[in-house]
Chain A
Amino acid sequence: MEEQQLPQAPQDLENFFNIAFDGVTRAHLRKAAVWAKISTLCAFVGYGVVLIVAFIGQPVYSLGSNGEGLRRTVTATSIFGALLSVGAGIFINYFLYRFAVSSIRGIDSMDSVKANEGFSSLRRYFKILGICLIIVLCLLVLVIVFAGLGAATSRF
């Protein structure tokens, strides 16, 4: 009886929300993590292909007699763009990969700490995507505003 009246803070925190990762939930979470891992691995291989295309497989077209400088500019721009997009993609997908690995480990070993690490990586993944989306939306609004201003000034 006395044992029941003792405060059990650690156990309360362990089941604070009264939600368990039962067999079905664990199976769903494991499959989600496996598919997340597949998509990140595909993305990483895809980035390799993009880099190969940017460095080696430049499109062949004629640019006239003075086209060598323009060709170099196009090549440098495409390589820079590819490096930038691949770097951003690897940075974002790294968190998704960490979510997949930590969640699978956490579920397999029934380790809540590992599962929490996985959820934390998923949170960072969504957060980075959300921030990128906000930046893109802001740029889009700026483009629309400036296009509107440009159209209005050209009319008068």
Chain B
Amino acid sequence: MENLQEQSLLQMNLDYDGGHILHETVRWSRFLSIVGIVSISLMVLVFALAGTTLLGLLPKLAPSLASLADLGTALIILVLLVVFASLGFMVFMLFRFSVLIRKGIDQQDQVAFTEGIKCLKIYFLIGGIFAILGLLGNFVSLISIFLINRIHF
């Protein structure tokens, strides 16, 4: 009895409430990941079929991204491929998190549960890197707007 109590003090277990919360969490994350995978596949398909036309329309659709057109088609395609691959890997990790956590809880499989949490870590790691890049982009746009305003006044 004492051993059991010591073990419960030294170890953290997934209790009844936690299991049910995680069960509902993975239901939503699986939905998000499936929609994400379908969306990314559609975007890749659209760029594969009408990439040249879209690149031609870029200055009209998004004037702020018009300078990207000067970089060259090959570089833009490379950047898009990296972005799509990263996003695809991210949503795949979310899907694996959902599947493995559900398997871990349903089949009481510790290995699958740990792998699921690892996938969640990778998902948030990629999300964090994207967030840092987005923040840098925000700062760049802020600086450029201030510079443009300074030139005009």
In the complex, A60 has a CB within 8 A of chain B: yes
Tell whether, in the assembled complex, residue A45 and residue B13 are in contact, meaning their CB atoms are under 8 Å apart: no
Cβ-closest chain A residue relative to B106: A17
In this assembly, does A77 line the interface, its C-beta being within 8 Å of a C-beta of chain B?
no
A87-117 toward B: CB 8 Å interface, digit per residue (1/0)?
Answer: 0000000000000000000110011100110
Say yes or no: A53-B114 contact (C-beta < 8 A), given A35-B124, A42-B128: no
Chain B window 14-50, contacts with chain A (Cβ cutoff 8 Å), 1 for yes, 0 for no: 1111110110110011011001000000000000000
The proximity string for B residues 106-125 relative to A, scoring 1 for CB distances below 8 Å and 0 otherwise, is: 00101001100110110111
**Is the Cβ of A38 less than 8 Å from the Cβ of B18?**
no
Residue from A26, A33, A137 in contact with B12 in the complex, judged by beta carbons closer than 8 Å: A26
Given A25-B117, A39-B124, A133-B32, also A13-B110 (CB < 8 A)? no
Chain A residues, Cβ within 8 Å of B4: 11
B121 touches A15 (CB 8 A): no
Residues of A within 8 A of B14 (CB): 15-17, 19-21
Contact B13–A57 (Cβ < 8 Å)? no
> Judging by beta carbons under 8 Å apart, are B13 and A15 in contact?
yes
B113 to chain A, nearest CB (A): 5
Residue among A25, A33, A115, A120 having the largest count of chain B Cβ atoms under 10 Å:
A25
For residues 20 through 54 of chain A, which have their beta carbon under 8 Å from a beta carbon of chain B?
20-22, 24-26, 28-29, 31-33, 35-36, 38-40, 42-43, 45-46, 49-50, 52-53
Contact B11 A20 (CB under 8 A): yes
Among the stretches A63-71, A121-129, A147-155, the one at the interface with B is A121-129
Cβ-defined partner of A29 (8 Å) among B17, B35, B121, B125 = B121
Asked if A45 meets B12 with Cβ closer than 8 Å, knowing A28-B114, A57-B149, the reply is no
Asked whether, in the complex, the Cβ of B117 is within 8 Å of the Cβ of A126, the reply is: no
**Do A35 and B128 touch across chains, with their CB atoms under 8 A apart?**
yes
Bound complex: CA of A120 vs CA of B127, how far in Å?
Answer: 20
Closest 5 CB pairs of A and B: A57-B145, A39-B131, A42-B131, A126-B28, A21-B12
